[in-house]
Structure 1
Amino acid sequence: MPHYPGRGDFRGRQSHTATYAGPEPFRGMRVVVVGGGNSAAQILAELSTVAVPPVREARDRGALKAEPMFTRLTAAGVAFSDGTTLDCDAVIWCTGFRPALTRLAPLGLRGPGGTIPVDGTRALAEPRLHLLGYGDWTGPASATLIGADRSAKAMVAQVIERLAG
């Protein structure tokens, strides 16, 4: 979860996409979903009704409503830059993930910015290592299902080429 002004003051429940297990724990609660990606839209659609409608149905019902980002959390909810507030019982942070590279730390592969320099999906400093799903640095949108599929196909092609050569 990101550090955000007032996060420690909020008396409600805070969780992250990574720990979201379904809508039932939030039944009857006023929930703010933070994020603009697929996870946020899907969680909001699921929370908007127990029947788990498709995202388009939730949009058509008016359940998907983009708001400007609030400036801080308060004890009772969130506050916006214009001074308005919104009370809520829970905040779900759909704000992305950090690359889980701890297991690779002994290899000393990280470059500037904490990423591992790659050619396609192959680590430059360790050509036997390929990385998938780490965002744009391992292929366009590789952290999404479509992007991961494309990156995986490119990785297979690289591995076959290396084995053949």
Structure 2
Amino acid sequence: MNNVEARDVDVVVIGAGQAGLSGAYHLRRTGLVPDRDFVVLDRSPRPGGAWQFRWPSLTYGKVHGMHALPGMELTGADGSRPSSEVIGGYFSAYEERFGLRVHRPVDVTAVREGDGGRLLVESSEGIWSARGLINATGTWDRPFWPRYTGQETFRGRQLHAADYPGPGAFTGQRVIVVGGGASGTQQLMEIAEVAAETTWVTRRPPVWFEGPFDENVGRAVVAKVEERVRRGLPPESVVSVTGLPLTDEIRRARERGVLDRLPVFDRITPTGVAWDDGRRVDADVILWATGFRAAIDHLAPLRLREPGGGIRMDGTRAVRDDRIHLVGYGPSASTIGANRAGRAAVRELRRLLEREPAPV
């Protein structure tokens, strides 16, 4: 790979979800030309970011807080259609409207230090040499699987929420859903309609958010998440700070007992799970709705991680390397946060490019 001639651009954008497209849009607005001055590399097979992989029963009407991409509203969407189709189509139209020629599917394997202060981005498409990088790889590629004693002995089926096929696959079965996030509760409520029995297990009691999510609340939430990345700790999800929105659907599920939660079990048995106090629950399926981790392994050669395990950030900029900007990471891991972060990253990268002109 090192013997392959690198193609030169000013900025490489990795990822074409909400955060990556926001960054590409603002690069375009500053006058940079796609494929000449910057390039967008996306691992997914088609437009839509992580949304294209959402389960079919997650309709657009069930999506909470989808914020439009900068410069183009999402209007007239049919709430009964799968969110993967609605948002995938919207992202596709957005790329076409603003001339964002996304390269896909392209797998970025490593980002390394190059000559003359440039970065070498190694990918399945070849090597790109860049002066700056916007990393917008999100978390979808790194589902988190916790480990418990006896897990390998379970005779039923185990799957992660990322691979959830829809409620029909659980008809008549006994299902344990592990995890207290938005995906876990949404999938649990669907499964409960067809399963023989459901059990909800979480590490902490759920926190329900009721009332308007106004600017003051949003600012406080972002500040809490931002504090972790400033300290170089792995970011927590925004939902873990806000709590879960108390919708009418959730209220009905609570009244039916679907959202009666148990603390996490101590071990897994061949037929289910068990607690040290003697409680046991038998199951046919364990669904791990245990979240995701940031997909940033390709940045490892740059040694950006702190002892705490995360990348210390100042805004969108990696403190250890001002050429690297992470959007959709930490406090910007929401649709509205990603838009703002894309704009902020481009603003700082423009300053960097103007301060250090490209060699002639």
In the superposition, the TM-score normalised over structure 2's length comes to 0.39
After the TM superposition, which segments of 4 or more aligned residues of structure 1 sit over 4 Å from their partners?
A: none
Q: Does 1:149 align with 2:336?
A: yes
In the superposition, the TM-score normalised over structure 1's length comes to 0.81
Deviations along 1:130-152, one digit per CA (max 9) or x if unpaired, are 22344xxx32xx44x4xx52354
Residue in 2 that maps onto 1:2: 146
The separation in 2 between residues aligned to 1:107 and 1:160, in whole angstroms, is 23
Shift of 1:155: 4.6
**Is contact 2:328-2:337 (8 Å) kept?**
no
Q: Does 1:47 align with 2:214?
A: no
Residue in 1 that maps onto 2:95: none
Percent identity, please: 49
State how 1:107-126 maps to structure 2 within 5 Å.
107-126=302-321
The separation in 2 between residues aligned to 1:67 and 1:115, in whole angstroms, is 30
Deviations along 1:75-117, one digit per CA (max 9) or x if unpaired, are 1111122102111101111112222112212222222133222
State how 1:61-80 maps to structure 2 within 5 Å.
61-80=256-275
The separation in 2 between residues aligned to 1:88 and 1:112, in whole angstroms, is 39
Bigger shift: 28-37 or 56-65? 56-65
Q: Does 1:36 align with 2:180?
A: yes
- CA RMSD between the two structures: 2.3
In structure 2, which of residues 166, 181, 203 is the aligned counterpart of residue 22 of structure 1? Answer: 166
Q: What residue identity is the alignment partner of 1:116?
A: I
Structure 2 spans left out of the alignment, 5+ residues: 1-144, 195-247, 355-360
Deviations along 1:41-69, one digit per CA (max 9) or x if unpaired, are 1111111115xx93333223221111111
The separation in 2 between residues aligned to 1:132 and 1:69, in whole angstroms, is 33
The separation in 2 between residues aligned to 1:45 and 1:85, in whole angstroms, is 22
**Is contact 1:122-1:155 (8 Å) kept?**
no
**Is contact 2:179-2:290 (8 Å) kept?**
yes
Shift of 1:36: 1.5
Secondary structure of the 2:324 match is coil
The separation in 2 between residues aligned to 1:116 and 1:156, in whole angstroms, is 20
Q: Give the number of the structure whose residues are more often strand, by fraction.
A: 2
Secondary structure of the 1:127 match is strand
